[in-house]
Chain A
């Protein structure tokens, strides 16, 4: 698979006759914003957008604990909903572009790159992300997103190089590690997932990474 999330998710979505909303996160937006480096995770969020329960790693939808948490959550009275003002993508992009006047604003470039990637404008994302990597040399996120932009524009080797740099800055991040595996060893993920291979590969990589 590549970073085209829907391609992977849609067959599963269809197979399980899902009637709930299913979203994909090929650009690591949620994992990055929520601070996640593992899956599966469960979150219960009330009407006002306030987190009421979280289980990070090892969340099982059908476990007694999860069912109990969900039942209690659903039984709660409605939370009051505060007004929020949403900025649309176009307005947001214009604001980020305006911030480019500051040659040192790496975050604006990173956010602009992410926004354009999400809007399937990977080509236009590369330039700001290249600058973001320069300005934010310690940002694993900037490298990951630049890699995603390269992947989306057909530059697989460049993408893998950047993903590996991002992983080197964040060794515990299984989501990046598996993304690299998916690109380099697609046969281990499709048509079935080779778990024994993953265990061996992880052992091998950990040994190579040694003390680092």
Chain B
């Protein structure tokens, strides 16, 4: 049955149980250069700075050392 990582409400547990960080990276807009990069399983992901709810910059690399579930979505 559902573990703590299910959305919308993350109930207790998940982080404690798994040292887990879950990120919802809300993409409001995006674009590419001509040659689109591709992330590949088995390779390091690029380090990206995003913005938290308080307006601070947060880097993906700051979650190193923990398993990371990254859910990338948009409101529309």
On A, residues with C-beta under 8 Å from B are 1, 3, 5-6, 8-10, 12-13, 16-37, 39-54, 59, 61-62, 67, 70-71, 73-74, 81, 84, 86, 89, 118-120, 138-141, 143-144, 148, 166, 169-170, 173, 175-176, 178-179, 181-182, 189, 193, 198
Contact = CB atoms under 8 A, between A and B. Distances in A.
Contacts of B52: 21-24
28 contacts: A6-B55, A17-B8, A21-B22, A23-B52, A24-B26, A24-B52, A25-B51, A29-B50, A30-B60, A31-B30, A31-B31, A32-B33, A35-B32, A39-B74, A43-B45, A46-B68, A47-B67, A49-B44, A49-B64, A50-B45, A51-B44, A52-B41, A53-B41, A59-B72, A86-B47, A144-B29, A166-B31, A170-B31
Given A5-B51, A139-B34, A61 B6 contact: yes
B17 to A, nearest CB: 8
Given A5-B51, A54-B39, A138-B34, A19 B10 contact: yes
Q: Is the interface of B mostly helix, strand, loop or mixed?
A: loop
A51 B6 contact: no
Q: Is the interface of A mostly helix, strand, loop or mixed?
A: mixed
A191 B23 CA distance: 25
A36 B72 contact: yes
Interface residues of B, number: 63
Interface of B: 2-3, 5-10, 15, 18, 20-34, 36-53, 55, 57-61, 63-76
Contacts, number: 263
Contact of A139 (B15, B33, B40, B73): B33
